């Protein structure tokens, strides 16, 4: 009797499976549709309207004119340049240093377990605390860096690290690199550890030196992970907000107004929701393009 019931259960499976699936995804879908998808669409709609809380005279339908206005604004080009500089410099530095450190941690030396354990610590420091630590280290009057450099005679008088836009931007990259580098290191180290030892030994037998083994054997095997890592980190550089908020507030002279901070500024300082929505749509499209690229990478390169 019970068996009969089971069989029937399997027979009518299709519809009941679908119902179970719907019930299981329902709570998540309510939140994602209501608080991710709806806002995305709302932004697209709002980007066709002027909507400025400080200057209400012009508010109303804008068509594509708002896009033209936002994209031709000097501030937008400036924020894209800053984000681009930030992304390129931090990704190059972090990928190269990350690879070197991962190779180092993959070698045999005393205390390796300890070093591997502490290497992740900076990543655990909350980003606000990270910004505070570096703001304090780089503080012109009392900061650690100036005090040590003065003491060692490297500099004659204090350096104001945040004085120029270019220098401030590089200091933000320094702070971000300190915190995010461990991520790259550990992912690459994990990849190195899974590499097939016999392939590498074959290289040694063939007389390849350490650099050749890295360049011709290890690097190609790590390529898929490196690509995923680059894409992941690119989207993270577009998100950079906390460090800028804490360390420079976008200054000096808008010199550290990366795209996320620029958008925040348009919305909550200039109270221009129309511009904010248009910028949000621009960011979403950039992320969508990156997501498509990400999927291409996942589907074409199989790490195995």
Partner 1 sequence: MRQSAGRRFIKGVGIYIAVLLLVCWTLIPILWMAYSSVVDKAELLNSGPLALPKNLTFERYEQIFDSFAKVLSGGRISSKSEVFSRALINSVMVTLSTTALALFIGGMAAYAFARLAFKGKQFMLMLAMFIQLLPTVALIVPLYQMVKASGLIDKLPVLVVLYLSNVLAYTIWVFNGYYQSIPRDLESAARIDGCTHFDAFVRVVIPLAKPGFVAVGSLVFLMCWDELLYAMVFMNSKSTKTFTVAMSEFSDKFAGMDYPLLMTGGVLVTIIPMMLALFFQRHIVMGLTAGGVKS
What residues from 54 to 113 belong to the interface with partner 1 (CB under 8 A)? 101, 104, 107, 109, 111
Four-CA torsion 224, 226, 228, 234, nearest 10 degrees:
-150
- Cα–Cα distance measured from residue 4 to residue 67, given in angstroms and rounded to the nearest whole number: 64
Structure tokens at 64: 């594509």
Residue 86: closest CA among 213, 249, 256, 302: 256
Task: Find the binding residues for partner 1 in span 215-234 (CB under 8 A).
Answer: 224-225, 228, 232
Query: CB of residue 236 vs partner 1: minimum separation in angstroms?
Result: 9
- Joined together, the tokens standing for residue 127 give 């980003």
Report yes or no: 54 and 271 within 8 Å, Cβ to Cβ. Answer: yes
State which H helix or E strand residue 97 sits in: helix 74-105
Please identify, using beta-carbon distances, which residue of 73 and 127 lies nearer to partner 1. 127
Using the contact rule CB under 8 A, the part of the chain among 57-65, 68-76, 84-92, 178-186 near partner 1 is: 178-186
Candidates 238, 251, 252, 254; binder of partner 1 (CB under 8 A) is: 238
Under rule CB under 8 A, which residues in 183-202 are in contact with partner 1? 183, 186-187, 190
149, 159 contact by CB (below 8 A): yes
Which of residues 38, 71, 166, 215 is near partner 1 by CB under 8 A? 38
Q: Would you list the DSSP string of 33-53?
A: IIIIIHHHHHHHHHTTEE-BS
Rounded least distance, CB 8 to partner 1, Å: 13
244 binds partner 1 (CB under 8 A): no
Q: Which part of the chain contacts partner 1 (CB under 8 A), choosing from 57-65, 66-74, 124-132, 164-172?
A: 124-132
Q: How far is the CB of 277 from partner 1 (least distance, A)?
A: 5
């Amino acid at each position: 009797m019970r068996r009969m019931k089971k069989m029937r259960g399997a027979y009518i499976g299709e519809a009941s499976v679908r119902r179970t699936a719907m019930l299981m995804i329902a709570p998540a879908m309510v939140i994602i549709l209501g608080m991710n998808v709806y806002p995305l669409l709302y932004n697209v709609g709002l980007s066709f309207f002027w909507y400025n809380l400080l200057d209400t005279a012009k508010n109303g339908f804008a068509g594509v004119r708002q896009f033209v206005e936002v994209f031709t604004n000097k501030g937008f080009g400036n924020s894209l340049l800053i984000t681009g500089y930030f992304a390129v410099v931090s990704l190059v530095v972090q990928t190269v240093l990350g690879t070197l450190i991962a190779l180092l941690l993959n070698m045999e030396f005393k205390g390796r377990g300890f070093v591997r354990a502490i290497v992740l610590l900076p990543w655990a420091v909350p980003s606000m605390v990270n910004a505070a630590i570096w703001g304090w280290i780089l503080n012109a009057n009392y900061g650690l860096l100036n005090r040590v450099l003065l003491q060692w005679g490297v500099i004659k008088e204090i350096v104001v690290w945040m004085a120029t836009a270019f220098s401030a931007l590089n200091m933000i990259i320094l702070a971000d690199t300190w915190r995010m580098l461990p991520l790259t290191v550990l992912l690459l180290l994990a990849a190195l550890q899974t590499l097939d030892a016999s392939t590498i030994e074959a290289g040694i037998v063939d007389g390849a030196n350490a650099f050749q083994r890295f360049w011709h054997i290890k690097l190609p095997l790590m390529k898929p992970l490196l690509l995923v890592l680059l894409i992941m980190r690119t989207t993270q550089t577009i998100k950079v907000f906390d460090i800028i908020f804490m360390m420079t507030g976008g200054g000096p002279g808008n010199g550290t107004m990366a795209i996320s901070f620029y958008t925040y500024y348009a919305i909550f300082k200039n109270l221009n929701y129309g511009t904010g929505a248009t910028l949000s749509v621009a960011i979403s499209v950039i992320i969508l393009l990156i997501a498509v690229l990400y999927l291409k990478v996942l589907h074409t390169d199989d790490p195995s």
